[in-house]
Structure 1
């Protein structure tokens, strides 16, 4: 058993698909299949259930994967610690967020304060964040949805009301507030399943026994305002946020619905290696008020 076999197994277990794993690893599918088969033979137990071309991680594979991820994570932590000590620099900090606009100004401020720190940024769903923290692929997540798991530490950064954004001239543009039933037939601009705006939208409608009508689904919550301004529908936007660059003309209306807010949290794995850069980043983020950067003006109606 060698490290290459373990890393191959880890990626195959993640995808449960040989060809996708081979593509990420940049190896031939037959070579990858043989490596996994040799590992199973050495362990004396199958790690996957095979049905034709489909494979599924079985109970033995699930058990072994937990230990493999822990082992590889420890080795990666050791490598990072050695590089930090050798190079005598702050090291690297890796951050995941659901929308990059949320943390753009904050990251810029951190880089200005600590130019010797290397910053890596990923855009991830809440589900991906939990896996990335467990696998130590990121040091921190800035999340708008609860992340759960052993050894995860959570610090609340900001709590903000979520408003309904509508195009200027829309029938609701001059309203102070609206209820969910009043917008049940309106087309919504939102994000794909797994992101916080979509989760909140579906929860608000489900509480009224309704299902939202979707006109547009995207990957970047920060683009919602532009799409609403273009007349593609209405949508949910955080109240305290500000957009970068030219403002899109939209009107913001309060939603008469319980618990209509977003909570931003900083989450990290307490059991993972922490570089000097990561420590400085945590101090930087938690030691000052957090002002997200996105859309729109709080909370009065705006003309941008």
Structure 2
């Protein structure tokens, strides 16, 4: 029994499909099937139930897969640790997020300290989140939604206020606080309903018996602010997305009740945590701590 045969078994067991496994391993299906049969002969036990082209792990296979999975996880950790040891502050950092403003500011300030890191922003889709939680595929997740799962840890960072943004020419823009009910007939501009931020703000509005009337729904957050400046409607803007130097917009506090969202990190419990990941987490804590200091002044 050698490591290569175990890798072949592990990949077939992971997919429970020889065709998918052969594509990942870049070998023919016949060669892969033969290698699995050889492994079974060496172990003197079958590892799969076979029904035509369909296969699934039997009890022997499940027993072996549990232990082989741990072996390859440790090998993956070793490989990452060796790369990290060799390259020190080089390497890569993949971050899942749907918070473009926060991601831009965090990475921009972190790059000043670690300019040689390769950064990758990954969209927070259901598929990518699943790969992160179940397989530890990406390094870290920045989210405005708290997730509970035994594989991950939620690290709260910041609770930010959400404002109602209106054109500076809007009659009520002279007020610092507003009641949402005054805007029941006002056209709103926002992200489409498949975005978590839109779903979140809609749920907050329902809490205060208010339903925004959306005139425009878009896919890009930057489009929203431009349309508001042009006087086409109003929208909800999180504190971290506010540009105080923009004179054509006014951001009004909502007095109906707490209109806030929590931002945090999702960290995987069962994957190798490279030094750069821990440094980025420390940077996030410091970044939001500075924001809190500014707000409290």
TM-score of Structure 1 vs Structure 2, range by shorter chain: 0.5 to 0.7
| TM-score, normalised with respect to structure 2 | 0.67
Stretch deviating more after TM superposition (83-92 or 109-118): 83-92
Q: Which TM-score applies when normalising by structure 1?
A: 0.66
**Alpha carbons of structure 1 residues 172 and 135: separation in structure 2 relative to 1, 3 Å:** farther
Q: Deviations over 1:109-132 (max 9, x none)?
A: 212212343322223258854652
Which structure 2 segments of 5+ residues have no match?
Answer: 1-7, 37-46, 52-61
Does residue 256 (structure 1) correspond to residue 285 (structure 2)? The answer is no
SS in structure 2 of the partner of residue 211 of structure 1: coil
Residue of structure 2 equivalent to 1:146: 146
Whether the aligned pair in 1 keeps the contact of 2:136 and 2:270 (CA below 8 Å) is no
Task: Pick the structure with greater CA Rg.
Answer: 2
CA distance in 1: counterparts of 2:86 and 2:136, whole angstroms: 21
Distance in 2 between residues matched to 1:109 and 1:208, nearest whole Å:
37
Residues 1-304 of structure 1: pairs in structure 2 closer than 5 A: 2=9, 5=12, 43-44=48-49, 76-87=76-87, 89-124=89-124, 128-129=128-129, 131-193=131-193, 195-243=195-243, 247=246, 249-290=248-289
SS at match of 1:172: helix
Single out whichever of 275-284 and 192-201 deviates more from structure 2. Answer: 192-201
Root mean square deviation, CA, Å? 4.2
Q: Check 1:279–1:239 CA distance in 2 against 1; reply closer, same or farther (3 A cut).
A: closer
Structure 1 residues 45 and 79: alpha-carbon distance in aligned structure 2, compared to 1, 3 A threshold: farther
Conservation of the 8 A alpha-carbon contact between 2:190 and 2:236: yes
Structure 1 residue 237: deviation in Å? Answer: 0.7
Aligned-residue offset at 1:236: 0.5
Instruction: Note the alpha carbon deviations across 1:144-176, whole angstroms, 9 max, x for none.
Output: 222221142223222221110012322432233
